[in-house]
Amino acid sequence: MAGTKGSGRPKKIEEPHENLERWLLTYADMITLLMLFFIVLYSMSTVNPAKYKDLAQALETIFAGGRPEIFSSDSMAAGMGIMANPGQFPVRKSRGGKMEDVLKQAISALQPDIQSRRARVVMNQMGVVINLASDLYFEPGAASILRENVPTLQRISSVLKSISNDIRIEGHTDNRNINSTNEIANSAGIPLLSNWELSAQRAINVLKFMESFGVESKRLSAVARSDTHPLESNNTPEERAYNRRVDILIVQEQ
């Protein structure tokens, strides 16, 4: 039927042209990611001392309650003090202010001693703890405080006087028999028969210093722990050094 519309040959549908360069997009994305990766690596290799200190304090916060860095001579973060994470422990309001404020105040006042590893400030479930390494404050087996530590004890006392929390001073020893040391007498010349006497006399002597520097007697107490609360296993000289300490606990009020 000539002249009828639509009787012509149907038009051929052309297939879309295949883009042979699509791989370039994937390649470009990969190159971009590699470039970003190496930029990150380069930025990590350039240490900013201030940022590193913040990072070290944050990492110590995470592991708070572990080995005191004050006793470690090769620790990169030693002597910095710990700014504990406020959310790590339940903190109650005390008459002396929040424990985070007490922590910051102690770290600020004791910076010279923290840097010289004569003191370390941490926070745990009980409150804020100022750790003193016994080997720096006492002769082996003795309870008399070495005179060069008086400035440190004065700075600690200034912190304690500025708050109203109770203060508990705890003496700790390692597990060695006290008779294995060379000097076994306290400040009064009375023999110290065991680690109980040694830890008790050391805590009492620190308490007396705090009292003489103006800390209220009614807020102070001394506790002998002997070797019953070690931080380490006492198997090596280094571990025993961690365990020989005096802890000044600023008690978190209920």
pLDDT in tens, 197-219: 999 999 999 999 999 999 999 99
pLDDT in tens, 155-195: 999 999 999 999 999 999 988 887 644 444 444 455 557 88
53: left (phi over 0), alpha (psi -120 to 50) or beta: alpha
Are 76 and 189 members of one domain?
yes
Helices (H), 46-93: 49-62
pLDDT in tens, 4-37: 555 566 666 666 666 667 777 888 888 888 888 8
In a domain, 10, yes or no: no
pLDDT at 208: 95
In a domain, 2, yes or no: no
Are 54 and 77 members of one domain?
no
Using only the alpha carbons of the chain, give its radius of gyration. 32
Residues 82, 75 contacting (CB under 8 angstroms):
no
Are 197 and 77 members of one domain?
yes
Are 44 and 134 members of one domain?
no
pLDDT grade for 224, boundaries at 50, 70 and 90: very high
In a domain, 8, yes or no: no
Does residue 55 carry a pLDDT above 60? no
Residue 214 sits in a domain of what CATH number? 3.30.1330.60
Are 48 and 172 members of one domain?
no
Q: Give the per-residue SS3 of 132-181.
A: EEHHHHECCCCCCECHHHHHHHHHHHHHHHCCCCCEEEEEECCCCCHHHC
Are 49 and 74 members of one domain?
no
**DSSP at 248:** E
Whole-number average pLDDT of the chain: 75
How confident is the model over 229-240, as a mean pLDDT? Answer: 86
Are 134 and 51 members of one domain?
no
pLDDT at 50: 56
Query: In which element (H, E) is residue 196 found?
Result: helix 195-212
In a domain, 4, yes or no: no
In a domain, 138, yes or no: yes
Are 88 and 157 members of one domain?
yes
In a domain, 12, yes or no: no
Are 87 and 137 members of one domain?
yes
25 lies in which domain range? 21-62
In a domain, 58, yes or no: yes
Does residue 70 carry a pLDDT above 70? no
Are 46 and 97 members of one domain?
no
Does residue 46 carry a pLDDT above 80? no
Structural domains in the chain (count): 2
Are 56 and 73 members of one domain?
no
Q: Please calculate the CA angle 166-169-170 and round it to the nearest 5 degrees.
A: 135
Where among 9, 36, 62 does a domain terminate? 62
In a domain, 226, yes or no: yes
Are 111 and 165 members of one domain?
yes
pLDDT at 47: 58
